[in-house]
Structure 1
Amino acid sequence: MKRFLSFLLAAVMASSLLVLPAGAAEVVRFSDVTDQNTIMAVESLRLMGVLDGYNDNTFRPGAALNRAQFCKMAVYAMNGEEELGLYNTVTIFPDAKPSHWASAYINMASRRGIIAGYPDGKFHPERTVTVGQAVTILLRMLGYEDKDIGGVWPASYMAVGATVGLTDGIGTNGNATLTRGQAAQLFLNLLRSDMKEKGSYLSSLNATVLENQVLVTSSATGPDGLETSMKLASGEAVYQMASGKASNGALNGLRGTLVLNKSGKVITFVPDAMGVQMTITVASAKASQIVDVSGA
């Protein structure tokens, strides 16, 4: 019976993906985020630990980021938080000593070759990040080097970023201050990108990637009722969240890629750029199970 239901669900999904009316499936976690693309980007990256909101339930998408904050985001986007202990006692920049809250993130990013200091030898962690600086860092995370790009910075890096889709939805002014909302879109673009040499960025994270999947639901598994697991339309398996964070459901019904760590737990779900969102309900009764797939 279960095999038949799984087959039925898959068949219906393949033949009847419907786009929801505008606003019908929006789930807003933060009170000041209403754009659907930003909602999806923020949720995908929040589950991964790349970013989060504030205690007053706001995300503040228009707020600027400083260089230390962006380094922390980059480290989590590299899935490198487990290695941070190796960099706690290292001093690479005199203004990012071990006493600085972001020293491990800055040191790790420096050793990975994705960030550099200023000519004065300092990192200046409190300075705001520009769009051009952010794009440069993420291109390095994709394997690009200065010798691959050339030209005048930041225009040359912005041009390459546009070519590979990294700057989609960001704008073209490399000298502008990067906002939190732009950073969310930029990092989501990174997760969707290909490395310079071979393979997808997600595959470079030492993770298992399940592509072209539809996220059926984020399920409540704990006594507190929080949604701390994910289930796909393609099978019966339930995947627990690696971080233990609860999903807000904003990614439910989207097609994309499920990213799992070595233990088979969810790092995040990355929605496709042209994802289709729909509602999926699986209900059970005493005598039988009913599978209902419908566009709202």
Structure 2
Amino acid sequence: MKFVKLFFSIFLMFGLLISSISPGVAFATDSVDYSGAVSRMKQLGVLDNSISDDTKIFTRGQFAKAIVVVDNLIDTASAMEGSTVFPDITANSEQSGYVNVLMNKQLITGMADGKFHAEAAVTYSEITTVLVKLLGYSESDLTGTWPSNFISKASNLRITSNLTFKKNDKVTIRNAALMFDRFLNTEIKSQNGNGSEKVTFLDSTNIYSDCIIYDNSDTASSLAENEVLTDKGVLYVTDSNTKLQVGATYRVRIENEEITKVYGITNGTESITVKNMIGNVVYYNKDSIEKSMTLPSSIDYYYHGTKEKYENLSSFIVTDMTIMFYSNNNSTNNYAVITDPVYSKPQLALNYDPKSNKIGDITFDSNTKIIKSGRAISTSDITERDVVYSVTDINGKNKYILVVENYVEGNITNFLTDVYSTNGIQLDSKSYYYSNSMNITKLSSFGKGDLVALILGYDGKIEDIKKIDNKTGSLLECLILGNSKTNDNLSDNEVLTDKGTFTYTDNLGSLDIGAKYELYISDNTITKIEKKENITDNYVVTEKYGLRMNIEDSSGLITNKELPKASVYYYHGEKIGYEDALASINNFSSIILSKSSNNKDYEYAVIIDPCFSAPQIFVGKGTELWSEIENSSYQYIYRNETYTTDLDDICENDVIYFVSDIWNRNCYIYAKHQAVSGTIKAFSPNKINATSITIDNQIYKFSPYFSKVKLNNCYTGKYVSLLIGVDGKVVDIEY
């Protein structure tokens, strides 16, 4: 009984604790992780970082400091330094503050000899009693006698699981660390008695929180310097020299939405930089070796703080994103954080000299790729409206140069403002917002109604603004598929492309059918030809039989072969397969082929029908048409399904066409003789605007080449002869 009374005189503790809190046990792990517990307690300051041998005894002095730290009494203890009641405690020492605050709270007293004995060992009975009482339990809550009742409660709460001590055994540092580590995550006694509210000791004292770092100012432009996005919300790191690693979990103290102390990182992370992703298989490089992995479906994935569905990952993960996997002590993944590439400060390419190896702070070198619109380019491909970035993954590796050509043109309709300043512009009533690097002092020279170009960065925000005289439009890569020569539905200043039909002006120059161009387009009008992107192989089919054909190249060399294989075929502006492409080819068809990047296979083929001239009516020899026929380098005459070379086979009222490939390298004369005679029954919709004529109840449409002046002498009931062209439409009328 003397020892029991002495112990209670030493540790008269804990009227302590927390109100409105509930009971229960939250800590359920029985494993013994000494090194992890020691590391975590050092992070929190419960143990001194100077400790190198954790098998030594845990002293009363170390125990007093540990109680102050876990009970969040550091500031109070510091304020109470300067006096002492114990002759073996220095008055102005940190130890005096620890002991004084614990004495004041009736949590600790001295020994029987009047000294504190900071160097003496703490026993198993003493530490379990303190920890259980800190959780809000008193002797009246327990059954049995001291110290067995407190030791039993500590065991029931799993604070001492897998530890085998007798009540008077001295506790080592590693065992004390393990018990404190478990104690922090143990639920305190409920104050309302029903156990409905479960709160751990850690939650009740706010010593620290474990935060997953989702983003910082490097990975999210919406975050200010020293701000981080965490699973606890957006927090401000008060120490400007502290940089928290995205993807890691940190043990921190949070006060008023500020991280006031960083104890350390609680987990290891392993990161990969995405090179490509197919389905949920990610391809990446490690130690210069390409590897792949199927993303595990059993973990949570976070992107800018949002938990993403596993099946949606492939929809937004792109090249140079970084995926950081959390690894616990068992080397299994519990979560992953996905981050965008890290972009440098944008540099405007205005007035850039292609001979230079720099734009602003960005230096070009032969080892760093330059990417624009998803493909590698050279510095000569950078234009004045481009915005240039140096891009890396979050670890500063896998660097490349990104060139962004993204701008909009229009009239300023409004300047957008918030409470303090302007933050954007409306262009033709559509809103655009400034980037953080936009020089807004330029805005003073702009007003509503001005025609401007907004230079946008990779994120769609405004990097620059400039006045323009006319709209240039957006840059598009277009494959030219037809013009008025190959398509009767196109006017002389129209071209058909894989992006649609556009108009252009003669001063722009010609666009080669089958070639790819970079074109500036505004309101469906081509305003500028930036450049031709490829060289094509051009062939004319001189003769076709079965699956094979004679084809003539641009040098005049004729070879016999099957239709070359290409990834895709275009005919009349539409994509078709190989069999349909083969069936579409006739004599004098033109075939344009473009090589793939490997310079072996063909990326695409464009097939163009033989080109027919405007129809002309043959009325006899000695005419202008007859002279044109005689002087043409025709190979033959095709008249009413018969081949001939005799000009005398051409008859009066034949409809004559000069037929050639699109390059006019080969030509023949097509003569069609089809006349329809009868009585005019009607004009549709009327004679003035007639698009067709009815002869003896048969309707015939007029060709675009038909001269409607001929209708002046026509009327219902009149007997006429219609001359029909190759397309079955009326070319002329004979009375």
* Alpha-carbon spacing, 1:236–1:262, altered in 2? closer, same or farther (3 Å): closer
Kindly report which structure 2 residues correspond to 1:262-273, keeping only aligned pairs within 5 A, or say none.
262=256, 264-265=258-259, 266=261, 268=263
1:290 aligns with 2:302: no
Q: Is the 8 A contact 1:283 1:291 kept in 2?
A: yes
Question: Structure 1 runs of 4+ off > 6 angstroms?
Answer: 229-233, 244-247
**2:81 and 2:93 in contact (8 A); partners too:** no
Deviation at 1:89, TM superposition (A): 3.1
- Could you tell me which amino acid in structure 2 is paired with residue 192 of structure 1? N
Percent pairwise identity: 22
Structure 2 counterpart of 1:260, which letter? I
Q: Distance in 1 between matches of 2:323 and 2:89?
A: 55
1:68 aligns with 2:79: no
TM-score by length of 2: 0.28
Q: Is the 8 A contact 1:47 1:245 kept in 2?
A: no
AA matched with 2:158 = G
Structure 1 segment 1-296 matched on structure 2, within 5 A: 37-54=33-50, 59-96=52-89, 98=91, 102-149=95-142, 151-198=144-191, 199-206=199-206, 209=209, 215=212, 234=231, 237=234, 240=237, 259-262=253-256, 264-265=258-259, 266=261, 268=263, 279-281=269-271, 283=273, 288-292=319-323
Question: For the pair shown, which has the larger CA radius of gyration, 1 or 2?
Answer: 2
Say if 1:142 and 1:194, in contact at 8 Å, map to a contact too: yes
Using the TM superposition, give the Cα deviation of residue 279 of structure 1 relative to its aligned residue in structure 2, in angstroms.
Answer: 4.0
Whole-angstrom distance in 2 between the partners of 1:175 and 1:37: 23
Q: Is the 8 A contact 1:130 1:176 kept in 2?
A: yes
Give, as a single letter, the amino acid of the residue that structure 1 aligns with 2:44. M
Q: CA deviation at 1:205?
A: 1.4
Alpha-carbon separation, structure 1, partners of 2:151 and 2:37: 21
Partner of 2:688: none
CA distance in 2, matches of 1:78, 1:71: 11
Shift in Å, 1:94: 4.8
Structure 1 CA distance for aligned equivalents of residues 57 and 172 of structure 2: 5
Ranges in structure 2 where 5+ consecutive residues have no aligned partner: 1-30, 192-198, 219-225, 276-317, 326-331, 334-735
**Structure 1 contact 89–98 (Cα < 8 Å) conserved:** yes
Q: Is the 8 A contact 1:65 1:178 kept in 2?
A: yes
Question: Could you tell me whether the CA contact under 8 Å between 2:82 and 2:93 is conserved in 1?
Answer: no
Distance across 2 between alignment mates of 1:148 and 1:209: 30
Maintained 8 Å contact 2:46/2:66: yes
Q: CA deviation at 1:100?
A: 5.6
Q: Of Structure 1 and Structure 2, which has the larger fraction of its residues in strand?
A: 2
Contact conserved, 2:236 with 2:257, CA < 8 A, in 1?
no
Kindly indicate which of the two structures has a greater share of residues assigned to helix. 1
**Cα pair 2:248 2:269 within 8 Å, conserved:** yes
* Counterparts of 2:232 and 2:77, CA distance in 1: 35
Shift of 1:191: 0.9
Residue 43 of structure 2 aligns to which amino acid in structure 1?
L
AA aligned to 1:53 is N
Structure 1-normalised TM-score?
0.62
State the one-letter code of the partner of 2:323.
D
Tell me the alpha carbon deviations over residues 19-40 of structure 1, each in whole angstroms, 9 at most, x when there is no partner. xxxxxxxxxxxxxxxx982232
Structure 1 residue 166, shift from structure 2 partner: 1.9
Q: 1:1-59 CA distances to partner (integer Å, 9 max, x unpaired)?
A: xxxxxxxxxxxxxxxxxxxxxxxxxxxxxxxxxx98223212322221111333xxx62
Whole-Å Cα distance in 2 between the matches of residues 145 and 192 of structure 1?
Answer: 19
Q: Which letter does structure 1 place at the counterpart of 2:258? A: G
| Gaps in structure 1 of 5+ consecutive residues | 1-34, 222-228, 272-276
The separation in 1 between residues aligned to 2:156 and 2:265, in whole angstroms, is 21
Shift of 1:289: 4.6
SS at match of 1:108: helix
- For 1:239-268, what per-residue CA distance to the aligned partner results, in whole angstroms no more than 9, with x for missing partners? 7487x8999x9xx877x9865234521555
Could you tell which deviates more after superposition, 87-96 or 229-238?
Answer: 229-238
CA distance in 2, matches of 1:232, 1:161: 37
User: 2:57 and 2:234 mapped to 1: Cα distance?
Assistant: 40
The verdict on how the C-alpha distance between 1:113 and 1:280 changes in structure 2, with shifts beyond 3 A counting, is: farther
Structure 1 residues 235 and 158 mapped into 2: Cα distance closer, same or farther (>3 Å)?
A: closer
Q: Aligned residue pairs: how many?
A: 237
Q: Which residue of 2 aligns with 1:31?
A: none
Higher relative contact order (CA 8 A, sep 6+): 1
Is the CA contact 1:142–1:196 (under 8 Å) kept in the aligned structure 2?
yes
* Structure-2 residue corresponding to 1:18: none
**Matched residues in 2 for 1:80 and 1:282: separation?**
42
Q: Deviations over 1:100-127 (max 9, x none)?
A: 6512111212223332333455433221
